[in-house]
Amino acid sequence: MVRTLSRRGLASAAGLALFAGIVDGYGFTALGGFFVSFMTGNTTRAGVEAVQGHLPAALFALGLIVSFVIGAAIGSAISSARAHPEARVLGLVLAGLVVAAAASSFGAAHVMGCALALSMGATNTVFSRGGDISFGVTYMTGALVKLAQALVAATRGGSRTAWARHAVLWSSIALGAVLGSIAATTLGSPALWGLALVITTAIVVLFVRRRRDGQEPVGPAGAST
């Protein structure tokens, strides 16, 4: 849960949300209005496109949904590993990014979109433990509801700062969406290769940190255990 995150855990979650926003903003711009992390939007689009007789578009939206689910399923399975679960899941995210970048370089937009959706599904499992996902980092509807609840609680004597954690995650993905759209418009596929490099760096940092800390478990997303 977001409220149990340590400061380092919250920073990691915000960084991952920023990354997710960049990927989704890139995908939405490059794919002409399809999402690679927001499956509610793709579900709506699939239904609307089907009703309007645009079967290829409807099938593509469904393909993105299936790819997202596959990524989340594989990520959940990988996250059950006792050794380096976050790094293993990020390896899956990296594989999807590499496929997407290569597909984009060859103009295979549909392959790129499905590969990015798979990566985003996996991204939601980076901080899971035993296959249970603590919270989603690629969709913020729940975070906004929690933010609203925290604001109400603050007026009734509850924590006056709890809402800020949810605001941080929402702001991160919002900023990422802006950056991702700019990257898609100005850079194209090289932006995906750059994101792959970022994830590679994150994997290396995780291994180094675990080695330095003696591989002591820190709980979901850096929460204390």
Q: What is the pLDDT of residue 161?
A: 80
Residues 46/49/52/55 CA torsion (nearest 10 deg): -90
pLDDT string in tens for the chain (225-residue length) = 666 667 777 888 889 999 999 999 999 999 999 999 999 999 999 999 999 999 999 999 999 999 999 999 999 898 877 677 888 899 999 999 999 999 999 999 999 999 999 999 999 888 776 555 556 677 788 778 888 998 998 888 888 888 888 898 899 999 999 999 999 999 999 999 999 999 999 898 887 877 777 654 444 444 433
CATH number for the domain including 85? Answer: 1.20.1250
Residue 221: C-alpha distances to residues 19, 59, 129 (Å): 15, 35, 9
Q: If DSSP codes are grouped into helix, strand and coil, which group holds residue 198? A: helix
Phi, psi of 132 (to 5 degrees): -95, 125
The rounded distance, in Å, linking the Cα atoms of 36 and 103 is 15
Could you give the number of structural domains in the chain? 1
Task: Enumerate the β-bridge partners of residue 132.
Answer: 129
Q: If DSSP codes are grouped into helix, strand and coil, which group holds residue 125? A: coil
Q: Which domain holds residue 202?
A: 2-222
The rounded distance, in Å, linking the Cα atoms of 22 and 28 is 10
Residue 33: C-alpha distances to residues 54, 61, 68, 184 (Å): 14, 10, 17, 13
The alpha carbon of 31 is separated from its chain's Cα centroid by a whole number of angstroms, namely 18
Q: What is the pTM of this model?
A: 0.85
**Length of the chain, please?**
225
Q: What is the pLDDT of residue 220?
A: 44
Residue-wise burial string across 109-129, b where 16 or more C-beta atoms lie within 10 A, e elsewhere:
bebbbbbbbbbbbbbbbbbbb
DSSP for residue 129: B
Phi, psi of 42 (to 5 degrees): -70, -35
